[in-house]
Structure 1
Amino acid sequence: MPHDTFRVGDLTAVIGDNEPSGEHRRGYNGVWSLRHARCPRSLFVPTYAGLNLEHIFDGATDDRRPEVFFEPRSAPMAFRRLGPDRAELHQPATPVFHLESRTVFTLRPPHVLDMEFRFSPRQHAFQQGWIGLFWASYIHAPEDKSVYFWGGTEGSSPSWQQLCTQFHNDQSTVVSRGDRTTLVFRPDNQPSLFRSLSRLRFDLPLFYGHFEEMVWIVMFDRANGIRLTHSPSGGGFDAERQTTNPAWDFQFILPRYEVMQWYGFRVRTLFRPRCPREEILRAYREWSGGVRA
């Protein structure tokens, strides 16, 4: 079975691999649908997904072919239900980058969906010595397409920031204030969200966005390697609502790696009724054990 439905607390989630099913399109692994008892529709575009492992990249490999640019979507992936509240997506070593990965999703009452991602490079396939990974979440035509985070520009004091890029691939990616990693990309590769940097920087590894009367909060267990990314139209156009579907994305950059070594990080998401920002920060501190820059 390529997917299954999980009901925990106020959440109902459909989690699946790269196989198509009904209106859900091939290649959109991750959380196919996420609903809350108090929200009339899924957070994610029905044909696509959220927390979708979309890209593996190294800046040097020719990515102009779809099977390279979207390798995690085209390479084989297996879904496994681990229990009433947990599922795993396993992707054996991929054909181009030879990266094996395991993603475990866990639902927790009343409104938490956790993701733990582990990966292992099986060959020296990353030509510049670093590994780039990218996840997409296609949000279903919200009135407010922005993401919000705690940060600012270099040299400024941190405060709440609002990011709503005007165009796809334009100042799309926000790195942490302490990130000194410089990624080099071959000039003939195709434009991408992960190549386009914003002047903004984040100070806490979290962001949130509004959907109907809900808020979706995404927080990370570290700042090192995490990059926040936005597109105003990455999920296409919603004809019924006459607006675009934004993408609220993120990346993980590993500056150095060893073959056969396992690496990973954790993500906590909350899909819940809107709440004050102080409550968002409190949830982050309780989960992370403190504020991490």
Structure 2
Amino acid sequence: MKLFFAIASCTLSISASAAHPQAAKNVTSLTNKTVTYRVPKEHHVTLKAAEITAIIVDNEAVDIPELPGHKAGYNGIASLKHRKNGENLFVASYAGLNFEHIHDGTKENLIEKFEPRKFPMELRVIDASTVELYQPATGNFQLESCGRYHLKQDGTIEYTFECIPRAETFQHGYIGLFWASYINAPEDKAIYFRGEPVDGGSPRMIRAVTPQHGVESVHVAKGTTWLPKVNEDFPLTLVLNRSKFVYTEASYYGLRDNLAFTQTFPDSKNLYMVQSPSGGGQGNPAWDFEWFIPDYKVGEAYGMTMTATYGPLKN
């Protein structure tokens, strides 16, 4: 019995140490086969809770009274409205929490800049407050994924993303992923977060403004030691053009009509906060984030969860 216990304990210890720090928690229908769902006929699903109304869409174009002229490819939250403001927070033809890029930091492998937008997605309705966007392995990088949008009773959006690389297609040994939120003409294009200057200083509330698209766009966590290798000719300028600040709390917000759109990242390992003053067109900034998975293995599942809130700013 003592020998068996020792062997079992050793096995458990090895398994625990071998687990990837960004391994999926088996939340979505991609990794948890006990999850049941239905596939709607439409390419959009509306979720409502508290003071929030959100319309989730796949990669197909949508043209309905609540969402006129929404363009194909802009998956995610096509419309986000608060009871105190009937106008869509996001640029109507675009989206928020839009799964935008899959990359490996090389130009030669970036056959399609916006790979997640170019391949079919399937809407999966889990329940009245939960919708998933499932995407089979994409044509270039062969990444299979599922993003779950869960609208909680208090109006918080919980987004869980899980993915499985189906081929060894990422040249630098990591998976690079990027999400965009295109904000509809806010008065203030800045984002706000707790952080400090890269060259040192006490933590404080940072008001971050980037001078132009792809310049000083990326805010990494304080103490970041691993950075992805990105080739000099890599065309996605937002990916690793670092700002003068680092964040000390994994959360940031932007303001529009006295309402705050706040994104918080409890799974903040290898996650960077990103901004552009014009990602959604002139006057429409993009408040984004990106996530990297180093040392990936084909066939293994990885995941992260973040939350988004939209409402009056809380102290």
Say whether the fold is shared (TM-score over 0.5): yes
CA RMSD of superposed structures (Å): 1.3
Q: Does 2:294 match 1:255?
A: yes
Contact 2:107 2:235 in 1 (8 A): no
Q: CA deviation at 1:182?
A: 2.6
Q: How far apart in 1 are the matches of 2:43 and 2:211?
A: 36
Provide the secondary structure at the position in 1 that maps to 2:239.
helix
Would the alpha carbon gap of residues 179 and 17 (structure 1) be closer, same or farther in structure 2, given more than 3 Å must change?
Answer: same
* Aligned counterpart in structure 2 of residue 73 of structure 1, from 97, 117, 126: 117
Q: Which runs of 5 or more residues in structure 2 are unaligned?
A: 1-41, 64-68
Partner of 1:38: 84
Structure 2 match to 1:159? 204
Matched, 1:91 2:135: yes
| Maintained 8 Å contact 1:10/1:37 | yes
After the TM superposition, which residues 11-26 of structure 1 pair with which residues of structure 2 at under 5 Å, given as runs?
A: 11-22=52-63, 23-26=69-72
User: Deviation digits for residues 156-186 of structure 1, max 9, x if unmatched?
Assistant: 2211111111100111001111211232223
Structure 1 residues 228-247: aligned runs within 5 Å:
228-237=273-282, 244-247=283-286
Whether 2:303 is the aligned partner of 1:264: answer yes
Deviation digits for residues 206-251 of structure 1, max 9, x if unmatched?
10111112111110113211100000000013xxxxxx10000000
Letter of the 2:103 counterpart: F
Give the TM-score of the pair, scaled to structure 2: 0.82
TM-score after normalising by structure 1: 0.88
Number of residue equivalences: 268
Deviation string for 1:136-162 (max 9, x for gaps)? 000000001111111112332211111
Which is further off, 134-143 or 199-208?
199-208
> In structure 2, how many angstroms separate the alpha carbons of the residues matched to 1:132 and 1:221?
19
Q: Contact 2:267 / 2:306 at 8 angstroms: preserved in 1?
A: no
- Where does residue 58 of structure 1 map in the other structure? 104
What CA distance in whole angstroms lies between the structure 2 residues aligned with 1:248 and 1:78?
Answer: 25
Corresponding residue SS for 1:116: strand
Unaligned runs of 5+ in 1: 238-243, 277-293
Q: State the distance in 2 between where 1:135 and 1:27 align.
A: 13
Deviations 1:109-158 (A, max 9, x none): 23211101111111111111011100000000000111111111233221
Q: Partners in 1 of 2:86 and 2:150 — Cα distance?
A: 23
Q: CA deviation at 1:21?
A: 1.0
Hey, what's the Cα distance between the residues in 2 that align with 1:190 and 1:170?
Answer: 13
Q: Does 2:147 align with 1:131?
A: no
Q: Partner of 1:241 in structure 2?
A: none
245-254 vs 108-117, which moves further: 108-117
How do residues 191-206 of structure 1 correspond to structure 2 at under 5 angstroms? 191-206=236-251
Higher Cα Rg: structure 1 or 2? 2
Conserved 8 A contact 2:106-2:233:
no
Instruction: State how far apart, in whole Å, the 1-side matches of 2:58 and 2:223 are.
Output: 35
8 Å CA contact 1:138, 1:247 repeated in 2: yes
Partners of 1:60 and 1:98 lie apart in 2 by 16
AA aligned opposite 2:193: F
